[in-house]
Structures are given as C-alpha cells and as structure tokens.
C-alpha cells in the first residue's frame, strides 16, 4: 500500500542529457515499472539500461547504466489493468482500496498527459465543429487542412510533391524555393539567394564581382597560357640581381634573367624551382679586382661536357645563356668577354 497522496502534476519530464544522471521525477509512482524512460527516441529497458530509485513520498529518480546522446524523457507508463477483486462478504482492506484508487488517479493522469501532446481544438471553439478526420481512403496521400468552417479536410498534394499555390504576400527570408520563380520581389537579398539589386552592375557589386575592382574587365587582347599568341609589341622580363657569396643559388621562380658581380671565387649552384622550358641569361661581371673563377652545379650541361672559363679581366662581363630541359638538366653556353 502507498501511504502518500497522488499530486496533481504532469506525469512527464524531459531533461537535456548530462550523462548517467540521476534524473529526478516529481510525480508519484507505486512501483519502478510505472514509468517509461527514453534516450532520444529510443525506449530503454529497466535494469538493462537504467535503475529506478523511489523516495518515501513516491517521487524518485532514474540512473542510466551507460551514458549516451539524446534528451532523457521520463513518462508515466503504469500498465492499465486491475488485479484486485472484491467479493461479497469478503475482506475489504484499506491497502487494497488505496492501491486501486491510486492506480485510477495515475491512469487518469497518464491519459491527460498523453492528450496534452495531441492536436485539440480550443475550449472556446463553437460546439458545432466536427473534429473527426476524413476517412482513410479520403485522406490517403493528401495534406491535412481545414475548411472555411474550421473542420478538418483532406486536400490535394503529397509530401513528395507539395504545391505552394499563389503567395500574394510572403516574408522572403522565411521561404526556401527550389526551381520555379518569384514575382513581386525585385531586390531579393544575397542571403536569401538573390543579388539584392535590380541592375546587373549593382548585382555584380553586391556579389563582390564589380568589374575593375573585384574582377578584370574582358579584353580580347589578354594573353592566355594555353593559346598560341602573336605579340604586336615588345615583351620583356626584369633582370633580378643574385646575391654574391661563396655559393650562388638562383631561384627560377623569381625571373628568367639574372645578374651578379663576383667578389671572389664562386660556385653557381643548381637553381631551385626548375621548370622545363624556361630560358634566359645570367650576366656575370668581374669586380674591380678580377681574376674571379666560377664553378657550376651538376645540373649545368655545356658543349663537349667542358665547363667554360670566365674572362678574368677586372670588370669583364660574360653572359651565360641557359635553357632548362628538365628538373635536373640545364643546357648552357657562355658568351665570353662581352664588350
């Protein structure tokens, strides 16, 4: 027998998942099977998935066996049945009566809690509203709608092919449209899938594509890397000065043409970033002392396999012409004593 009252309280509570709990419930139960526990939409099993602690006043808590994801829902679920039987002339115990009366109250509260989660008409609706759904045949593959009197009806269309009909007034930020078109909205915002503009120029600006600011204007004379070109004016590349040192390493990403003035005996190392097809020259100048020598990295290949000797006169100028054959081979020839 329960020696506590059954409170007037909803028999359901939902918690944000914080682990195994405990998760308290403040409605009274008679035994630990009087509730159902869900994690997300999954119905859990007593003992296997959770345990129930019942307080002296009939409230209690649920503790999960393992943590998981999804909200925790505790709802009244006492089995609707009667196991007692009163016989004529038999004993009538208070404990039996209390259990039966408590059960009846719990059953009513469970039904009320379930009804609270159902669609229902306001209590102030007219009494002539017919809230009965159309028949199965009439409502199959259709939408639930309400006619001019507020009665439920089945209307054409399915969840796979909805028809919006005509929208004379609508908040553009609340409508997702796939295909079709919208009329009556001139400047649909960029965030809503539009350009926020009524002219092409303003549309490009709003999209960050303003010609001359964000993108280059079309020019038929623009050169392309994958098309044969015929240049009508001179083309040239800058001459990049190399840093003089014991080892001189050109970076072929910087330029095609280079220059360096030797301040001592040096080694022209294998260049970095070699790309087959690149060509150019390296202008090599002796300093005011002269007599500077230059050795070459293994990638440089010369006629006859013999590395050339620089002109060693003070301030003499030699020009090394090169052509990159591959990432490890540079064909080169020295044009000596240019003056």
Give the pLDDT confidence of 151-177 residue by residue, as tens digits. Answer: 889 988 765 554 555 545 555 555 565
For residue 94, the model assigns a pLDDT of 76
For residue 180, the model assigns a pLDDT of 61
Residue 299's CB: how many other CB atoms inside 10 A? 19
Does the pTM of the predicted model rise above 0.75?
no
Q: Does residue 149 surpass a pLDDT of 70? A: yes
The least confident of 5-9, 40-44, 171-175, 279-283 is: 171-175
Specify whether the backbone of 124 is left (phi greater than 0), alpha (psi in -120 to 50) or beta: alpha
Q: Once rounded to an integer, what is the mean pLDDT over residues 226-246? A: 91
Model pLDDT for residues 177-232, shown as the tens digit of each residue: 566 666 666 677 887 777 888 888 888 898 888 888 888 888 877 888 888 888 88
For residue 190, the model assigns a pLDDT of 80
SS3 label, residue 304 = helix
Q: Once rounded to an integer, what is the mean pLDDT over residues 41-49? A: 95
- The mean predicted confidence, pLDDT, of the chain is 87
Q: Once rounded to an integer, what is the mean pLDDT over residues 37-55? A: 95
More confident residue, 167 or 110: 110
For residue 63, the model assigns a pLDDT of 97
Distance of CA 48 to the CA centre of its chain: 37
For residue 138, the model assigns a pLDDT of 86
Q: What is the CA radius of gyration of the chain?
A: 44
Pairwise CA distance, residues 67 & 77, whole Å:
23
210 closest CA partner among 197, 224, 221, 222: 197
């Amino acid at each position: 027998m329960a020696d506590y009252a059954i409170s007037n309280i909803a028999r359901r509570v939902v918690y944000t998942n914080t682990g195994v709990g405990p998760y308290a419930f403040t409605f009274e139960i008679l035994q630990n099977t009087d509730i159902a526990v869900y994690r997300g939409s999954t119905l859990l099993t007593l003992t296997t998935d959770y345990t129930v602690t019942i307080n002296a006043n009939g409230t209690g808590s649920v503790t999960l066996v393992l943590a998981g994801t999804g909200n925790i829902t505790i709802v009244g679920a006492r089995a609707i049945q009667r196991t007692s039987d009163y016989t004529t002339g038999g004993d009538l115990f208070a404990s039996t009566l209390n259990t039966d009366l408590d059960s009846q109250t719990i059953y009513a509260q469970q039904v009320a809690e379930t009804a609270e989660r159902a669609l229902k008409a306001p209590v102030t609706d007219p009494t002539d509203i017919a809230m009965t759904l159309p028949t199965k045949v009439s409502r199959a593959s259709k939408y639930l709608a309400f006619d001019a009197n507020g009665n439920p009806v089945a209307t054409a269309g399915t969840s796979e092919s909805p028809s919006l009909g005509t929208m004379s007034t609508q908040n553009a930020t609340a409508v997702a449209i796939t295909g079709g078109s919208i009329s009556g909205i001139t400047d649909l915002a960029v965030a809503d899938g539009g350009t926020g503009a009524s002219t092409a120029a303003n549309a490009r600006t709003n999209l960050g594509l303003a010609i001359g600011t964000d993108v280059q204007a079309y020019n038929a004379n623009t050169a392309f890397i994958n098309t044969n070109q015929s240049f009508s004016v001179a083309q040239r590349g800058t001459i990049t000065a190399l840093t003089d040192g014991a080892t001189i390493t050109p970076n072929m990403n910087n330029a095609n043409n280079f220059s360096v003035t030797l301040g001592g005996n040096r080694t022209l190392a294998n260049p970095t970033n070699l790309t087959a097809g690149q060509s150019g020259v390296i202008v090599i100048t002796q300093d005011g002392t002269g007599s500077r020598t230059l050795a070459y990295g293994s990638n440089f290949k010369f006629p006859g396999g013999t590395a050339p000797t620089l002109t060693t006169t003070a301030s003499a100028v030699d020009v090394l012409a090169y052509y990159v054959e591959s990432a490890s081979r540079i064909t080169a020839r020295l044009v000596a004593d240019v003056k």
